[in-house]
Amino acid sequence: MLGLTKIVLVACSVASVFGAVVVRDDDASANVTAKNPVFTVPTLVQIRDILAQLEAPIISALTERLNLPSNPALYANNGSALLKYIKPREATANNLGRYAYGKLEYPFTFNAVKPDVTSKSNPFPPGRFHQDSYSGNPSLLSFYLNTLVPLFNASTGYFYHLDGSQVNDDATLNLDATILALLSHRTSFGKIVAESKYAADVSGFTPLIKAINTSQIRTLLTNTTQEAGVLAQAATAATAFSTAWVASGAAEPATFPTQLGNVAAKVFRELIDTTTDIEVQYLLQRFN
């Protein structure tokens, strides 16, 4: 724990946009890395295998959500009812350590990003996770409200409430909160993807980071072959889910397989794009 006399609070320019406060030692020689645990990142191949395992839970939750008629009022005013629902859950999650350093979990209703601060005499070696201040969640929330919610337009529920009820706000909001958390966790892997790519090409990335050459960093991070593979896997998984759901005897509309495929394609495109943004932002703060 830090002694109070050794702490100054500095709201840096990037973090203050999100209302964050950076805790920084006023003694420039302090070893700031010692405050957080040391996490080395897995290899890119391992990370991609983990990401592939996160695909089924996302498509499963999207399938359920697509089968649920919902009340549009929940999403009015930039999703204020949805955020009001999520807020106490995230407060509980926070108390239980869900957003702690290295968990790759970030909340939607408050800012939990306390970036690491390094110095020239105390840099983070390549391959060590380094917390930055960027969260992809505002972008994911906007995508959810503006792109996905209009596609969740079921007129009949397949949620099988025994009382025959069609619209159930808690069931809907619970799925919304689950999907948002899954998407956030999936995109946050961009931070360790970026660290892994950086460690594999330190001399390629370092001058670009120092020159803040965002477009060239993005180019160097992007692998369109890998992206096409992720989108193809998502399409295959969506077909498997809709086929299984229809085979189970659900009285789905004929458009259901197409709709699920469309939703999955949009979600995984967004995941790739937001993950890339997170990778770029992470690297830009690599030497902060």
Ligand X SMILES: *[C@@H]1O[C@H](CO)[C@@H](O)[C@H](O)[C@H]1NC(C)=O
List of residues 6+ apart from 46 with CB closer than 8 A: none
| Number of chain positions touching ligand X (CB under 6 A) | 19
> Is the Cβ–Cβ distance between 186 and 271 less than 8 Å?
yes
- Choose the binding region for ligand X from 55-63, 108-116, 176-184, 254-262 (rule: CB under 6 A): 254-262
Cβ 45 to ligand X shortest distance, Å: 8
Cβ 269 to ligand X shortest distance, Å: 15
- Should residue 262 be labelled a site residue for ligand X when binding is judged by CB under 6 A? yes
Please pick, from the candidates 5, 53, 248, 255, the single residue that binds ligand X as defined by CB under 6 A: 255
Cβ 217 to ligand X shortest distance, Å: 8
- Should residue 33 be labelled a site residue for ligand X when binding is judged by CB under 6 A? yes
Cβ 151 to ligand X shortest distance, Å: 5
The binding track of 148-187 with respect to ligand X, each residue x by CB under 6 A or -, is ---x-x-x--------------------------------
Q: Tell whether the torsion through CA atoms of 242, 225, 104 and 132 is positive or negative.
A: negative
> Is the Cβ–Cβ distance between 133 and 14 less than 8 Å?
yes
Chain centroid to Cα 50, Å, comes to 14
Please pick, from the candidates 11, 211, 240, 250, the single residue that binds ligand X as defined by CB under 6 A: 211
Q: DSSP assignment, residue 24?
A: E
What is the 3-class SS of 240-279, one letter each residue?
HHHHHHHHCCCCCCCCHHHHHHHHHHHHHHHHHHHHHHHH
DSSP annotation string for 172-204: HHHHHHHHHHHHHHHHHTHHHHHHHHHHH-HHH
- Burial (0-12, 13-18, 19+ Cβ within 10 Å), 247: exposed
- Should residue 38 be labelled a site residue for ligand X when binding is judged by CB under 6 A? yes
Would you say 92 or 200 has its CB closer to ligand X?
200
Would you say 38 or 56 has its CB closer to ligand X?
38
Would you say 92 or 150 has its CB closer to ligand X?
150
- Should residue 78 be labelled a site residue for ligand X when binding is judged by CB under 6 A? yes
- Should residue 243 be labelled a site residue for ligand X when binding is judged by CB under 6 A? no
- Burial (0-12, 13-18, 19+ Cβ within 10 Å), 272: buried
- Which amino acid appears at position 47 of this protein? I
Structure tokens at 118: 């390094």
Q: Which residues bind ligand X (CB under 6 A)?
A: 31, 33-34, 38, 77-78, 151, 153, 155, 211, 213, 216, 223, 225-226, 229, 255, 259, 262
